[in-house]
């Protein structure tokens, strides 16, 4: 603080300059459509240039890209990308569906630095990311959500973003929803995962260390597909859980299994992986093995392998691990769980015939006290030092008392979300501290 004190004091006390006295609304100048002319190698060098940023001790930060080499967006390549959508290049990006009675379809998307975004600009970013024309509808749906981050200028804390596609469109473009869906190797997953970051920098001017002070997050540039084939019978897709506003009916309605949406998962800084070795987890099916013995010990019967009635406790074991997420909380709130098909089936066998049953179980089972919440990092910021009203009671947190129990998994069961993906022979649960994803429909952008 001492380093900047004299500069801040001088800036606050010096008379205003003529420039500082100017008033009126700021209208940012439109950037030139053609950024650079030259050879392919010269263009790659131009787009790869970096600026020295003080906040990372004069390290170089990419000025136009996400920091990786890109496909040069020539006139020909952008024109080819535009064949992936029926929308015109000059069309300004806007909401494709109504999200509420006041946020209707056609509302223009204004990016963080007050720029509008055209369909052609999204096509440019899609080319740079390495996308194919058939991926253009998903790229536009991501653009409607502001790309990766749109908290610029400002601080984004250490929040990261993951993207998921739910619906038949994922198979159309060859996405991976199975083994290693979160890992490298699949063209659609990798290129679409990258486009949000390129949009944030290239369209939103969100440059790290200059207009964005960001703690950084490892969960960036990740795109995967929901495993619709791995969903247990009776479980709905993410698309079917997502809603839009029906203007005629004047109410929120759900998308269908035939619809495709992009989900934007805000990680809010952290994720917990609950992974059990295959041998232990598969022992749940027979009632023997390490996990079975753990459950029996919890029940007070460590000497028994499989007493009557133990089966339901053993089947519930994948859920038991979720209790550890309460200990890792930075504040109460909804969670997004990424589970593989094996774990999903364990949950069905335990009696959770629908996702909604699990959401309700989490809501009814786990609590944190106000005193515990006060010791979590976000209490002061989120509650205005306890002065704000608690949503379910209407009373301030300060008036509730230290022993009052708050729902650990949010103020509503539907604030939680389960997405089935990444299946093969694993038994994994990833808990993301961000709640239900924001969704954007893909089909209107075809």
Domain span holding position 137:
32-266
Residue 340 pLDDT > 50: yes
Same domain, 336 and 219: no
pLDDT in tens, 388-399: 999 999 999 999
The residue from 266, 286, 311 where one domain ends is: 266
SS3 label, residue 385? coil
Last residue of a domain, which of 242, 266, 290? 266
Of 233, 266, 299, which residue is a domain's last? 266
Any idea what DSSP says for residue 212? E
Residues 383 and 423 in one domain: yes
166 domain-assigned: yes
Q: Are strands 251-254 and 243-246 parallel, antiparallel or unpaired?
A: antiparallel
Lowest-pLDDT range of 264-268, 313-317, 350-354, 407-411: 313-317
Q: Is residue 325 part of a domain?
A: yes
Residues 171, 64 share a domain: yes
Q: Is the pLDDT of residue 419 over 50?
A: yes
Q: Please give the pLDDT value at position 182.
A: 86
Q: Do 127 and 206 fall into the same domain?
A: yes
pTM of the model: 0.85
* Structural domain includes residue 229: yes
The pLDDT score that the predictor gives to residue 273 is: 62
353, 390: one domain: yes
Is the Cβ–Cβ distance between 162 and 265 less than 8 Å? Answer: yes
**194 and 61, same structural domain?**
yes
Query: Residue 341: is its pLDDT beyond 50?
Result: yes
Q: State the sign of the Cα–Cα–Cα–Cα dihedral 380, 386, 389, 394.
A: positive
* One domain for residues 187 and 226: yes
d(CA 257, CA 227): 12
> 115 and 203 in contact (C-beta within 8 Å)?
yes
Asked if residues 320 and 284 have their Cβ atoms less than 8 Å apart, the reply is no
pLDDT in tens, 27-45: 767 778 898 899 999 999 9
Asked whether residue 230 is assigned to any structural domain, the reply reads yes
Residues 246 and 348 in one domain: no
For residues 129 and 255, state if they share a domain: yes
Asked whether residue 383 is domain-assigned, the answer is yes
Same domain, 201 and 323: no
Of residues 287 and 300, the one with the higher pLDDT is 300
Rounded average pLDDT over 269-289: 54
pLDDT 10s digits, 110-166: 776 667 889 999 999 999 999 999 999 999 999 999 888 766 766 655 567 889 999
Q: Is the peptide bond before 195 cis (omega within 30 degrees of 0)?
A: no
Residue 12 lies in a domain: no
Q: Give 168's contacts (C-beta < 8 A, 6+ positions apart).
A: 228, 258, 260
Measured in whole angstroms, how far is the alpha carbon of residue 372 from the centre of its chain?
A: 27
Q: What is the mean pLDDT of residues 248-276?
A: 83
**76, 224: one domain:** yes
> What is the predicted pLDDT for the residue at 25?
75
Strands 50-53 and 59-62: antiparallel
The SS3 of residue 360 is helix
What is the total count of domains within the chain?
A: 2
Residue 4 lies in a domain: no
pLDDT average, residue stretch 164-190: 93
Same domain assignment for residues 278 and 158: no
Residue 25 lies in a domain: no
């Amino acid at each position: 603080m001492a380093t900047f004190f004299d500069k801040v004091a001088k800036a606050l006390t010096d008379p205003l300059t003529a420039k500082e006295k100017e008033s009126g609304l700021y209208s940012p100048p439109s950037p030139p459509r053609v950024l650079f002319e030259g050879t392919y190698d010269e263009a790659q060098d131009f787009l790869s240039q970096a600026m020295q940023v003080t906040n990372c001790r004069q390290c170089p930060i990419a000025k136009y890209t996400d920091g990786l080499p890109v496909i040069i967006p020539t006139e020909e390549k952008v024109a080819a990308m535009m064949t992936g959508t029926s929308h015109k290049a000059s069309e300004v990006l806007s909401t494709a569906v109504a999200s509420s009675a006041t946020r209707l379809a056609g509302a223009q998307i204004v990016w963080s630095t007050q720029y509008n975004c055209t369909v052609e600009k999204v096509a440019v970013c899609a080319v740079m990311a390495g996308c194919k024309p058939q991926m253009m509808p998903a790229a536009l749906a991501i653009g409607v959500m502001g790309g990766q981050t749109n908290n610029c200028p400002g601080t984004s804390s250490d929040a990261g973003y993951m993207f998921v596609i739910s619906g038949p469109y994922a198979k159309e473009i060859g996405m991976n929803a199975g083994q290693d869906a979160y890992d490298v190797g699949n063209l659609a997953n990798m290129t679409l995962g990258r486009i949000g970051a390129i949009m944030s920098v290239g369209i939103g001017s969100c440059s790290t260390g200059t207009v964005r002070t960001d703690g950084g997050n490892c969960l960036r540039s990740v795109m995967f597909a929901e495993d619709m084939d791995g969903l247990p019978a009776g479980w709905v897709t993410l698309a079917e859980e997502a809603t839009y506003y029906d203007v005629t009916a004047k109410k929120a309605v759900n998308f269908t299994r035939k619809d495709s949406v992009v989900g934007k998962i805000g990680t809010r800084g952290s994720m917990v992986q609950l992974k059990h070795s295959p041998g232990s987890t598969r022992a749940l099916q027979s009632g023997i093995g390490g996990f079975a013995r753990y459950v029996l010990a919890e029940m007070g019967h460590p000497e028994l392998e499989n007493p009557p009635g133990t089966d339901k406790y053993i089947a519930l074991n994948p859920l038991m691990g979720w209790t550890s997420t309460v200990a890792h909380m930075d504040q109460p709130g909804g969670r997004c769980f990424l589970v593989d098909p094996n774990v999903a089936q364990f949950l069905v066998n335990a009696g959770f015939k629908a996702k909604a049953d699990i959401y309700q179980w989490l809501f009814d089972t786990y609590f944190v006290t106000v005193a515990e919440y006060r010791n979590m990092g976000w209490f002061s910021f989120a509650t205005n030092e306890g002065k704000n009203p608690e949503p379910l009671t209407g009373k301030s947190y300060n008036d509730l008392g230290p022993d009052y129990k708050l729902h650990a998994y949010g103020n509503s069961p539907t604030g939680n979300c389960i997405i089935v993906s990444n299946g093969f022979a694993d038994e994994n649960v990833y808990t993301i501290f961000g709640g239900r994803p924001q969704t954007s429909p893909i089909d209107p952008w075809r």
